[in-house]
Amino acid sequence: MLSKRIIPCLDVKDGRTVKGVNFVDLRDAGDPVELAAQYAQQGADELVFLDITATHERRKTMIEMVKSVARQLNIPFTIGGGITEIADAEALLNAGADKISINSAAVRNPKLIEELAKAFGVQFVVLAVDTKYVDGKNMVHLNGGRLITELETENWIKQAEDLGAGEILLTSMDHDGTKAGFDCGLLGRINQMINIPIIASGGAGSMEHFTEVFQKANVDAALAASVFHYGEILIPDLKKELRGHGIPVRL
């Protein structure tokens, strides 16, 4: 059985790590390169960096950050934000990123998933999906959660898998930053629908929440931000707890 992965997420804005609740009220959480090194030492399996206000003007900053992170790390890391074409992804992968994450650009141009998968391989392409429950349906949101689309989350994820996405990073906006637990129901349903790994995101507040999402939704990985950034949960403690519940993790 494959080990379950624990993934700290660093939302980066203007070169700093930030964290909010339900995608708003952002506050500073530290230097991303320093945090990355700490998490690697603690035993994180992977890292995700999301440039949450990415524009082409800031692409150079992100590339410098990727190079700095790559020098510090011996674990895989994923970069997302502002990737709209093959050249953007190529620049980040050349700078040392292991995978790239796309979200809004993929919704606007689904063929981008196919193009990236062909250019770099399926395993490099992570589709990030920000979902919110609206009028009885799970709907995909864009632009850091500010813009609702007409896409139902389940349909979009299935289409993305067919186009060549290698992994899904699914964030529940309703749960994000609330520390009330992951959306195990939605995660479990989608996991049964697709054959590629799912990273659960949004809602981690305690070690029990990680145990619950692995046991109930059988996701491949669980991602969190503030509980790690502010030292509320330490990764070695979390992995011991998971192992105690029979969940396979790499210690």
- For 63-84, the pLDDT digits (tens) are 888 999 999 899 999 999 889 9
Cβ neighbours for 68, distance < 8 A, ≥ 6 positions apart: 33
Q: pTM for this one?
A: 0.92
Contacts of 27 (CB under 8 A, 6+ apart): 18, 19, 20
CB 110 within 8 A of CB 156: no
Q: Are 197 and 156 in contact (CB under 8 A)?
A: no
> In the predicted model, is pLDDT for residue 10 greater than 70?
yes
Closest listed residue to residue 199, CA positions, set 161, 173, 225, 168: 168
Instruction: Summarize pLDDT for 111-137 with one digit per residue, the tens.
Output: 999 999 999 999 999 999 999 999 999
Going by pLDDT thresholds of 50, 70 and 90, the confidence category of residue 12 is confident
pLDDT of residue 18: 72
The most confident of 51-60, 80-89, 204-213, by mean pLDDT: 204-213
Among 194, 234, 241, smallest CA distance to 218 is for 194
Determine, yes or no, domain membership for 251: no
In this structure, what CATH number is given to the domain that contains residue 91? 3.20.20.70
Could you list the residue range(s) of the whole structural domain that residue 45 is in?
5-244
Residue 249: inside a domain: no
- Report pLDDT for 52: 74
User: What is the chain's mean pLDDT, rounded?
Assistant: 91
pLDDT higher than 70, residue 166: yes
Grade residue 23 by pLDDT with cuts at 50, 70 and 90: very low
Work out the number of other CB atoms within 10 angstroms of the CB of residue 205: 19
Q: 130 an active-site residue?
A: yes
For 88, the 3-state DSSP assignment is helix
Q: Which residue has the higher pLDDT, 62 or 22?
A: 62
Question: What is the count of structural domains for the chain?
Answer: 1
Amino acid identity of residue 69, one-letter, is V
d(CA 81, CA 53): 7
140 in a domain, yes or no?
A: yes
Token representation of residue 205: 């507040």
20: confidence class by pLDDT, cuts 50, 70, 90: low
- Reported as a single tens digit per residue, the pLDDT across 194-250 is 999 999 999 999 999 999 999 999 999 999 988 998 899 999 999 999 999 999 999
**Exposed (0-12), middle (13-18) or buried (19+): which is 137, by Cβ within 10 Å?**
exposed
Give the pair of three-digit tokens for residue 181: 């637990």
230 assigned to some structural domain: yes
Marked catalytic residue, from 51, 88, 130, 183: 130
- Spatial contact of 183 and 174, defined as CB atoms under 8 Å apart: yes
- Judge whether 58 lies within some domain: yes
